Each structure stands twice: as structure tokens, then as C-alpha cells.
Homo-oligomer: A and B are copies of this chain.
Amino acid sequence: MLEDVFLKKLKDEKATIEKYLKFYLDSLHVPGVLHEAMEYSLSAGGKRLRPFLAIAVADMFGKPREIIMPYACALEFIHTFSLIHDDLPALDNDDLRRGKPSCHKAFREDIAILAGDALNTDAFSLLFEFGEGNIKKAGKYFAKAVGGRGMTLGQVYDCTIPENERTVEKLDFINYYKTSELFIAATAGAAAWLDAADEEIKALEEYASNLGIAFQIADDILDITSTTEKLGKKVGSDAALNKVTYPVLIGIEGAQKAVEERVLKAHKALEPFKDKEGAEIFTGFGDYIKNIMAKNN
């Protein structure tokens, strides 16, 4: 099954990604506590999904690892910066991240804010210092996906749209900016970095746009249907916070159907790559999201 091919490669690449993350961070020679805080959060684990997607794009286009790794790691710098700032008292006020004290608890709030800032900026340092890709083409995708037209905008929507005003359309909107945008940077942006053709970049954008939304809905379903043991992370937190999610609005079955529709759209977008070796990873990722509920019930 393609899902298993995806999961195996995801697991196989994790150590390589983490080795490069450490290498690039060390190469910047950030001193003292700032380095410690950046490294603490960068090494806190996670699936490394965004760098993985960029690597899968490079593999599908037959491009060598050395070219994609700075770009792939820049994505994880950004993802980590977003988690550090998300966890701050003024935002989600989470004291724990992946079972460890979040950055502002392990260090201090001022250091956490600044470590997030440094990871945001130094994601671009990776592109400029270690990059052999098409920086002009990819930089546009990258910066757009992160700043006031991307992930950060998604955070603002999530902080400001009242729960009682959230509709399915509004949730799609929030999820698109919060999750799809960085998936787009990880796929379409990676393709731009590798100088792919415009129609290939567009196809990956359509894929990632739908898959990001599906990924977020699936996460909301699991928060209701799964158990902490099966998932390896705390469930029921949305309900505890009275968060309005897809399952709350249209039920678990309706939400599962929405996931399947989004995955179908994502798979259709992969059509231009059907003869490319390595494209099955992207289909496998979609299958994984689609089957996530059945597996974790």
C-alpha cells in the first residue's frame, strides 16, 4: 500500500533531516543561550513532515540531496518558530510541547520570543548561505507562505475569528492559511527552488492546498475519536476549549467525508506526475490522511 511506502520513507528520512538541521544551525555559529533555545526547540522532535515533503519533491525530480537540504531545513526552522510563538502566554499559552516544557518554560518568555524571531529570519539565512537553488523563484513562495499573506495571517485569523462565527467555509480559510500555506512552500516552493516548470509548480500548489486542509480536519477528528494512548498526544483539548471544528459543525461522518473529498482533489492534482518515480509518496501521504481515523479508533 502506498500509505506504507509513504510512512516508511517518512521514518527513514527523519534522522537525515535532523542531522542536517543540527549541521545548519551549528554552521550559523549563534552563541550562548540563543543557540540553546533555538536548538532546544529545533530538536524537540516531530514528524519533520515539511522538510520531508521537500525531499520527496527533489527525489521525484531526480535532484541531489545537497540542493534541497537547505530549503528543506529552512521549512523546519519556520515551523519551529511558529510553534514557539504559538505556545506563548499571549497566544495558546501552552506549557508543554511534545511532552517537554515549551520554549518559554524551558527558557524565559523574552528568550522564546527572540528565539522564534531568529528562527524566522535565519530560515532565510539557510537559503542565502547554503543555497544552490533558484532563490528568486522559490523565495517568493517561501516568504509569501510564512508572512502576512500566509501562516502568520492564519494565526491572526485563529486568534481573532470568534468560535461562534466559525462556519465550514471560515474553517477552510483558517486551515488554508495556518497549514496549507507551509505545505505549499514545502512542495510548490521546493519545485520552484529546483527550477521546475510553472505548470508542475501549480499542480503541487493545488495538491498541497487541499492536503493541508484535509490534514487539519483529520487532526480535529482524531482529537475527538482517538485516545491519548493510541495517538501519543493529548486528545479532547478542542472540546475542553470549546473549539468549533469540522466534527462539531457537521459531525464526525461529515468531517471524514470532507477529508476524503479534499484528498481526492489533491490526488487529482498529481496527474502531471503520474509517470514520475517518487510521485507515489504524495499519493501515499493523501491515503495516510484519509485512513488516519480508521487506524486510530
From B88, B116, B128, B152, A140 is in contact (CB under 8 Å) with: B128
Q: Knowing A29-B149, A129-B140, say if A120 contacts B117 (CB, 8 Å).
A: yes
Quick one: which of A93-109 are within 8 Å of B by CB? Answer: 108-109
Number of A residues with CB within 8 Å of any CB on chain B: 50
Question: Which residues of chain B have C-beta atoms less than 8 A from A108's C-beta?
Answer: 90, 159
List the one stretch of A8-16, A31-39, A205-213, A220-228 in contact with chain B.
A31-39
From B110, B121, B127, A159 is in contact (CB under 8 Å) with: B110
Question: Which residues of chain B have C-beta atoms less than 8 A from A148's C-beta?
Answer: 28, 30, 34-35, 38, 118-119, 121-122
The yes or no answer to A270 lying at the interface (CB within 8 A) is no
Report the nearest B residue to A161, measured CB to CB: B32
The yes or no answer to A269 lying at the interface (CB within 8 A) is no
The yes or no answer to A244 lying at the interface (CB within 8 A) is no
Is the Cβ of B114 less than 8 Å from the Cβ of A155? yes
Is the Cβ of B121 less than 8 Å from the Cβ of A152? yes
Expressed in whole angstroms, the Cα–Cα distance for A127 and B39 within the complex equals: 28
The yes or no answer to A83 lying at the interface (CB within 8 A) is no
Is the Cβ of A121 less than 8 Å from the Cβ of B139? no
The yes or no answer to A160 lying at the interface (CB within 8 A) is yes
Quick one: which of A112-143 are within 8 Å of B by CB? Answer: 113-114, 116-122, 124-125, 127-129, 135-136, 139-140, 142-143
Expressed in whole angstroms, the Cα–Cα distance for A150 and B7 within the complex equals: 39
Q: Knowing A128-B140, A143-B122, A147-B125, say if A152 contacts B117 (CB, 8 Å).
A: yes
Question: Which residues of chain B have C-beta atoms less than 8 A from A60's C-beta?
Answer: none
Q: Knowing A118-B148, A136-B128, A148-B118, say if A159 contacts B30 (CB, 8 Å).
A: no
Is the Cβ of B33 less than 8 Å from the Cβ of A160? yes
From B85, B118, B119, B121, A113 is in contact (CB under 8 Å) with: B85
From B113, B122, B140, B147, A147 is in contact (CB under 8 Å) with: B122
Q: List 21 A-B contacts (CB under 8 A).
A: A30-B148, A32-B156, A32-B160, A34-B152, A34-B153, A38-B148, A85-B113, A110-B159, A114-B156, A116-B117, A117-B120, A117-B147, A120-B121, A120-B147, A121-B146, A122-B148, A124-B139, A125-B149, A128-B139, A128-B143, A129-B140
Taking A111-B156, A124-B147 as known contacts, 5 extra A-B pairs with beta carbons closer than 8 A to each other, sorted by chain A number, are A29-B149, A30-B149, A110-B159, A113-B113, A114-B155
